[in-house]
Chain A
Amino acid sequence: MNIKLSGPTIHLEGRFTFAQHGTFQRALSHLETVGAQQVRIDLSAVDFIDSAGLGMLLIARDVARERGIGLILRGARGAVATMLETASFDALFTLEAA
C-alpha cells in the first residue's frame, strides 16, 4: 500500500490488509500531529480491503476521536465500498462519495 499525507487528507493506494500495518502507522502518526478538525481518508485508490484493514480504520477512528477530529472515509468503490457497507461503517464514520 502506498500512502500520501497532504494536510487534512490521507491518500491510501493499493491493498489494505494486515500486511500494511506498518505503513498505516504513518497515517496514525499524521492524525496525531495534523492539527485539523476534520481529516479525510481517501480510499478511492484502494482496490482490496480485508477485516484487518477495517480494524485499522477503526483504530484511526479512536485516535481521531481522542483528539476531537472528525474522520471521513472518502471515495470507496467496488469491493471496498461493499466491505464498508457489510461492516455497517456508515454508522461509525462519515462516508463520502468520490
Chain B
Amino acid sequence: MGDHHEDDFEAAYRVLLSTAFGVAYRILGNVTEAEDAAAEAFARALASWRRIARLEYRDAWIMRVTANVAIDRARRIRRTAVIATPPASEPEEANALRVALVAALESLPRRQRDAIVLRYLVGYPEREVAACLQVSPNTVKTHTRRGLETLRRLLNDDEEVPHALA
C-alpha cells in the first residue's frame, strides 16, 4: 500500500477511533476488549483500504464492523464465563443489563440488528442508516421498530431498553 493510502487511513483512524471505541465499549463494557475490537475493525479496513476508502459510507462501514466484532467478542467472552465478573468500573446492574442487551441483540434477525446498532449504538440518523444498509428510510423505521419490540420482549422491560441504547 502506498504512502498516500497510509496517510489517508491514518487520518480517518484518528478521527474515528474514539467513536469506534465508544461503540465497542458500550457492547463489551471492558476497556481492553473494546480497544481490541476497535483495533480489529480498523485492521480489517486497512487490509482493504483501497476499496473501503472509496465507499460513500466509509465511516459507517467501520462502525458496523466494530459493532459486529464487539458483539461477536462479547458472545465468546460470555461463553467462557469471563463476563460473569463485571468490570470494576461498571456497576453490577449495568453489567447485567449490558450482557442481556447483547444477548438480545444477537437473537434479532440480521437486518433488525444492523438497524438497531447503527441507529442507537453508533447514533446515525435514519437516513444515513438507510443509505448504509441500502434500504429505504421507511424500511429502517420498520426494522428498528420491530427490533425494539423484540428487545423489549426479550428483556421484559419497557423502560430499560431505550435507556440502555441511549
B is bound to A:
no
